[in-house]
Amino acid sequence: MIERIVVVDADITTERVDAIVNAANVALCGGGGVDGAIHSAAGPALLEECRTRGGCPPGSAVVTHGYGLPATWVIHAVGPVWSGGGMGEAETLRSAYHASMARAREIGAASVSFPAISCGVYRYPLPDGARIALEAVAECLAHAGAPSTVRFCCPDDAVRHAFERALAELAA
């Protein structure tokens, strides 16, 4: 299973895959970080479609088209804001990955690229965020219709090291 997961140095907006996952907010109104980069690359039509979705609660995910992006679809996932770990953040983050993989199955995406959801502005500690991401995605790969390839796109060494370490732990 986990041979279907790869960790790459990549700007997710350049990924030529069926779906990329956005680290969005509950309002689906765009923002900074990877959300800002995806909206900037997709163009204004992405925000227009997001506005038709009526928001997305933390731990959930909704799908839109990719517009100007190389990816066909964007899966907007909302992770938790880190509040010290006592507010169910781990469960919400796991749920955001599970929901993203469920949307990917529903649209028949064979290839999906993820960012490190919640590990930026939302301040989720990177090592735990990476471990939860890989565990959650690996659990879903066993499901019928799951993507054949999942890519974790790392914009810098810190993110890549965290995901490479988490992948190695999963493989051990």
Least CB distance to ligand APR at residue 133 (A): 10
Cα–Cα distances in angstroms (integers) from residue 43 to residues 13, 30, 73, 123, in the given order: 12, 11, 13, 27
Least CB distance to ligand APR at residue 7 (A): 12
Cα–Cα distances in angstroms (integers) from residue 113 to residues 27, 42, 73, 160, in the given order: 22, 15, 11, 14
**CB closer to ligand APR out of 11 and 106:** 11
Chain centroid to CA 43: how far?
A: 19
Q: Which H helix or E strand runs over 23?
A: strand 19-24
55 binds ligand APR, rule: CB under 6 A: no
Amino acid sitting at position 127: P
Piece in contact with ligand APR (CB under 6 A), picked from 9-17, 42-50, 65-73, 139-147: 9-17
Piece in contact with ligand APR (CB under 6 A), picked from 45-53, 61-69, 115-123, 136-144: 115-123
Least CB distance to ligand APR at residue 172 (A): 24
Q: Active-site residue 35, yes or no?
A: yes
CB 12 within 8 A of CB 34: yes
- How many of the chain's residues bind ligand APR (CB under 6 A)? 25
Residue from 4, 6, 33, 47 that binds ligand APR (CB under 6 A)?
33
Question: 9, 18, 35, 128: which one is catalytic?
Answer: 35
127 binds ligand APR, rule: CB under 6 A: no
Residue from 2, 8, 36, 108 that binds ligand APR (CB under 6 A)?
36
Return d(Cα 140, Cα 2) in angstroms, integer.
11
Q: Which H helix or E strand runs over 128?
A: helix 126-140
Per CB under 6 A, contacts with ligand APR among 57-86 are 79
Cα–Cα distances in angstroms (integers) from residue 39 to residues 22, 64, 163, in the given order: 9, 12, 25
User: Which residues have a catalytic role annotated?
Assistant: 35
Q: Which residues bind ligand APR (CB under 6 A)?
A: 11-13, 23-25, 31-37, 79, 115-122, 153, 155, 159
